[in-house]
Structure 1
């Protein structure tokens, strides 16, 4: 044990979901007299919902502070030495210490640790293009990013916005900008929006977005971002054409923020994320843990490591890490790849494997796609829903589900997420005892209709 006034010291790098969940859980496990906890955060905020930023930008959430789960003052009151506006610039693994720099003053200092948590999150992908760093071009990953975007929207002289990318962030930011009264063009390099879906399901999203007044430009690669005489963004250029813009939002995804870990020689996976064991301990390092958007996780369906930057996982990682760093024992077994989103009143959901995922890992599969409704067809408010299901050929094991529809569609994917986690076959799913009443579902829930058709197709195959 290192001697820090007779206590061990836990150092946490990163003060959002995974980092502060880990710090808080470790504090529950051990009091300040046993464990000193020091947390470094380079931004102004801690423990906030990054997933809520598009809804704050769009105005559905009125106040920024509504996204903050626990303030720095609340963390400090619980005996966590939280240092805001302090960026860790180096990990000295062999020496058991970190170098940190005060963002405002530039002063640097070393802090030793007995146990280390790396929760450095992710960074928005910013294309290496002319004009990508121009004023008016925004990535959206932190509350500071969200505030900067809101400031630009308030000052913008025109009302034209271009969103680059059509994944979760892209479609959510498109909705936010529509809600702010902007004309929105989404430029997408893929065949259809939402590459987390198969293209046939992405096409449904495409049609719905255009129906909401959003201009969709697919199969388009941004070549440069042009600026005006004032240096601010004016146009987004692709190989096919140019699109006027008073503001540009980059929604082309994120990458693990693992530069510190890479420089320290810690193990990284194929996607650039840190590799951990079931206890979220960095492989080969007894007293270093990592979690949140900077790690790769095991996909329980494919059996392969995957990069899935979601707040749900980050908070679970933090709980597991805090328990282990505090002297207990907990594990994070992996994910099945569940995610939901919306653009205006269109709900989008997926879990498990897409067709290309199944092909990549060598699985033979059958697919079915069914049309149903969110409620009994005769009940007021019933809305259409499309469900696509993948099942393994011969065994009938459920491999994945995608759902696109209106109110009541997205959360139905949770049925499939549980079935995937339990390893159910589509035949077994048909017998699930789900809740039924006309205001909530047809007598055969859409997910079970898909399971019935998939089971029949597997039997025929």
Structure 2
């Protein structure tokens, strides 16, 4: 019998364990999984909606309980932290956080699924009570405990990426006065600044105070040690709670200490089978790895549950004796703040410039439905196409209901390597309740194709 050891019991780790168990019965494969937190197999992406009240039951975010995993033949050890990986001896060192007991566990196959950690810049007051990162279900519970115990109703969100804007919405929904302090000029740095400006305007329209080009230098605390505000070089903003939405980094401290290969973004490097490079029996997946960007051809770090679950499926299949690969990503992501929908896939302008691509851009304004049909909502679509070939490079969409999921069409086009000219002929569904005669994405493709043909207008 061989043993599979899994570090981290969320999306990638438990998907790998579950798939390996499907492939091999318990008398052929022993599976041991370690999780330092209180929860396993949950939707981290759902935490902002639980905090905001749209999801009322925490357990609704849990896909499978520890008891359910154990019933399927997986020895899941909760509140147990792996503190060392010893690749030479094929073992890991673990600590039971409740009892303090320490021990080594050997492995034949190791899966590293340690996820990502919220960025907490070193500054005065960063660890004060009332300052929260939001990455795990434990983090979400701690934030809710603070919100429920607060007398004041002022919140400051530091950072305006996906986590920042989603948490701004959650806090607005809970009746807080929300200020978002962002280092860049516009929110959503995953968009080009002109599209980020649309998000900025919409957020202000929702009653959120947006502060751009402002870097937080300190968390201010009161006499009781709790947070009372944040400070930048030019101003102070009062707060009864502070949420950090600065982003995440791969949690690879264990892997780095073990000498495993890390990439430019700090994530583990794997082959297409999700095997850690140079280590035949060590696998990694989820937010702790870097993946191939199919558009730019470079490695990048993307923390998304969709990828983590796919990584786990690939790993479990390979550990179980099958064959599977993860080819890469195109960088598709969607989000929302109240009724504003935000989507992107592929490259931004600065991404394309960084890898030496010449490109054309177009921006079009359209509606989600036929203009005469009730409920038609505005949307803005921006598209990048390679200058000479016309290959689609990226799409960004900001709009109201029905806008965000249109990005999926562009994600398929990017994966297939189609041109914007080819894109214009796509046979997309049409009826007035769902789209204008020319879908907004296809309108952008037509304009981009014309621009490529003429080779005029804005270029990168």
Asked if TM exceeds 0.5, the reply is yes
- Shorter-chain TM-score range: over 0.9
Residue 412, structure 1, aligned to residue 406, structure 2? yes
Shift in Å, 1:189: 0.2
Superposition pairs for residues 120-269 of structure 1, below 5 Å? 120-269=114-263
Tell me the distance in 1 between the aligned counterparts of 2:178 and 2:283. Answer: 42
Number of the residue aligned with 1:286: 280
Shift in Å, 1:142: 0.5
Give a deviation string over 1:284-333, Cα, whole Å, max 9, x none.
00000000000000000000000001000000000000001111110000
| Structure 1 unaligned regions, length at least 5 | 1-6
Number of the residue aligned with 1:88: 82
Q: How many residues align?
A: 455
Residue 402, structure 1, aligned to residue 391, structure 2? no
| Structure 2 unaligned regions, length at least 5 | 456-460
Shift in Å, 1:127: 1.2
Shift in Å, 1:413: 0.1
2:13 to 4, 16, 19: 19
Tell me the distance in 2 between the aligned counterparts of 1:272 and 1:280. Answer: 16
TM-score by length of structure 1 reads 0.98
Number of the residue aligned with 2:330: 336
Number of the residue aligned with 1:326: 320
Tell me the distance in 1 between the aligned counterparts of 2:150 and 2:126. Answer: 18
Number of the residue aligned with 1:460: 454
The alignment partner of 2:356 has SS state of: coil
Number of the residue aligned with 1:387: 381
Tell me the distance in 2 between the aligned counterparts of 1:38 and 1:96. Answer: 14
Tell me the distance in 1 between the aligned counterparts of 2:219 and 2:281. Answer: 45
Give a deviation string over 1:358-410, Cα, whole Å, max 9, x none.
00000000000000000000000000000000000010000000000000000
1:42 to 30, 36, 54: 36
Number of the residue aligned with 2:458: none
Shift in Å, 1:235: 1.1
Number of the residue aligned with 2:291: 297
Number of the residue aligned with 1:424: 418
Residue 378, structure 1, aligned to residue 378, structure 2? no
Tell me the distance in 2 between the aligned counterparts of 1:445 and 1:407. Answer: 14
The alignment partner of 1:19 has SS state of: helix
Tell me the distance in 2 between the aligned counterparts of 1:109 and 1:187. Answer: 44
Tell me the distance in 1 between the aligned counterparts of 2:158 and 2:99. Answer: 35
Tell me the distance in 1 between the aligned counterparts of 2:274 and 2:380. Answer: 37
The alignment partner of 1:294 has SS state of: coil
Give a deviation string over 1:219-252, Cα, whole Å, max 9, x none.
0000101101111000100112000000000000
Number of the residue aligned with 1:98: 92
Q: What CA RMSD, in Å, does the superposition of the two structures yield over aligned residues? A: 0.4
Residue 62, structure 1, aligned to residue 22, structure 2? no
Tell me the distance in 2 between the aligned counterparts of 1:375 and 1:441. Answer: 4
Shift in Å, 1:278: 0.4
Number of the residue aligned with 1:4: none
The alignment partner of 1:292 has SS state of: coil
Tell me the distance in 2 between the aligned counterparts of 1:261 and 1:137. Answer: 28
Number of the residue aligned with 2:354: 360
Shift in Å, 1:191: 1.4
Shift in Å, 1:56: 0.1
Give a deviation string over 1:134-153, Cα, whole Å, max 9, x none.
00000000000000000000
Tell me the distance in 1 between the aligned counterparts of 2:391 and 2:220. Answer: 50
Segments of 4+ in structure 1 off by > 3 A?
none
The alignment partner of 1:293 has SS state of: coil
Residue 110, structure 1, aligned to residue 104, structure 2? yes
